[in-house]
Amino acid sequence: DAGVTQSPTHLIKTRGQHVTLRCSPISGHKSVSWYQQVLGQGPQFIFQYYEKEERGRGNFPDRFSARQFPNYSSELNVNALLLGDSALYLCASSLAGRGISGNTIYFGEGSWLTVV
Amino acid sequence: GQQLNQSPQSMFIQEGEDVSMNCTSSSIFNTWLWYKQDPGEGPVLLIALYKAGELTSNGRLTAQFGITRKDSFLNISASIPSDVGIYFCAGTTNSGNTPLVFGKGTRLSVIA
């Protein structure tokens, strides 16, 4: 079975532009989460989606948005890019969202975003 | 954002040595997870812990969920060159899995 797949793997954008990152979860997984990892730090939680609904949001500005589609894939959108948005954006999938214990979270390879 | 206290930040060890790293939190967690991340790749799950006191092994790796639910450690025995990478602990306070709170990572270097 394929793991969590993300696209694109690398991209370069200019300040002020918009970016869309895509994620397909592991087959059968209904929950997708997004994390931002800047160099030298651990990943920081951005969003969680379960059954197409937002179930959690981290401390990120409104320039960040996401959605989940009926096939459980997801998009992360970032508007008005800033230099500080340069990071590895990780998508993670799990079987279920909150209220279900004992599940584990698997990460994709990530999308490297460089803002110049 | 919130992060766990992970130590040490980096380690240089000889091949064959054992390694120990740990994570502490000011909050109680219901789940602890340990990941390894190689350069340019996403974190790969090594071990998942769901109960206080739980001790779980995965090959040469052993991890424990602290009794207080505020800490966890990861041990690697008989290290080999492919153990090189950054190891992250992650925890969640929810009965589900997310959001995960991560440590800053332990960078492991193995000298052959």
pLDDT tens-digit series, residues A24-74 = 999 989 899 999 999 889 999 999 998 889 988 999 999 999 999 999 999
Distance CA B44, CA A36 (A): 16
Q: In a 3-state reduction of DSSP, which class is residue B82?
A: helix
- A81-100 average pLDDT score: 84
Chain B contact probe: residue of A45, A57, A109 with most B CBs at under 10 A: A45
Contact A58 B99 (CB under 8 A): yes
**Whole-number pLDDT of residue A83:** 97
% of chain B beyond a pLDDT of 90: 77
A78: distance to nearest CA of chain B, Å?
19
- A9-32 average pLDDT score: 95
Contact A90 B50 (CB under 8 A): no
**Whole-number pLDDT of residue A99:** 46
Pairing state of beta strands B101-102 and B106-111? Answer: unpaired
Q: In a 3-state reduction of DSSP, which class is residue A81?
A: coil
Q: Does B85 touch chain A (CB under 8 A)?
A: no
pLDDT at residue B15 tops 70: yes
A23: distance to nearest CA of chain B, Å?
13
* Residue B89 burial (CB count, 10 A): 32
- B54-83 average pLDDT score: 96
pLDDT at residue B75 tops 60: yes
**Whole-number pLDDT of residue A19:** 98
Q: Which residues of A touch B40 (CB under 8 A)?
A: 112
A41: distance to nearest CA of chain B, Å?
5
Q: Does A25 touch chain B (CB under 8 A)?
A: no
**Whole-number pLDDT of residue A95:** 79
C-beta contacts of A70-73 below 8 A and 24+ residues apart: A72/A24, A72/A25, A72/A29, A72/A30, A72/A32, A73/A22, A73/A23, A73/A24, A73/A25, A73/A32
C-beta contacts of A52-61 below 8 A and 24+ residues apart: A55/A31, A55/A97, A55/A98, A55/B98, A56/A98, A56/B98, A56/B99, A58/B1, A58/B99, A59/B1, A60/A36
Contact A107 B45 (CB under 8 A): yes
Q: Which residues of A touch B100 (CB under 8 A)?
A: 33, 35, 43, 45, 92, 105
Cis peptide preceding A61, ω within 30 of 0: no
Q: In a 3-state reduction of DSSP, which class is residue B91?
A: strand
- B11-25 average pLDDT score: 96
Q: Does A43 touch chain B (CB under 8 A)?
A: yes
Contact B98 A97 (CB under 8 A): yes
pLDDT at residue B76 tops 60: yes
Contact A107 B43 (CB under 8 A): yes
Integer-rounded Cα Rg, in Å, for chain A is 13
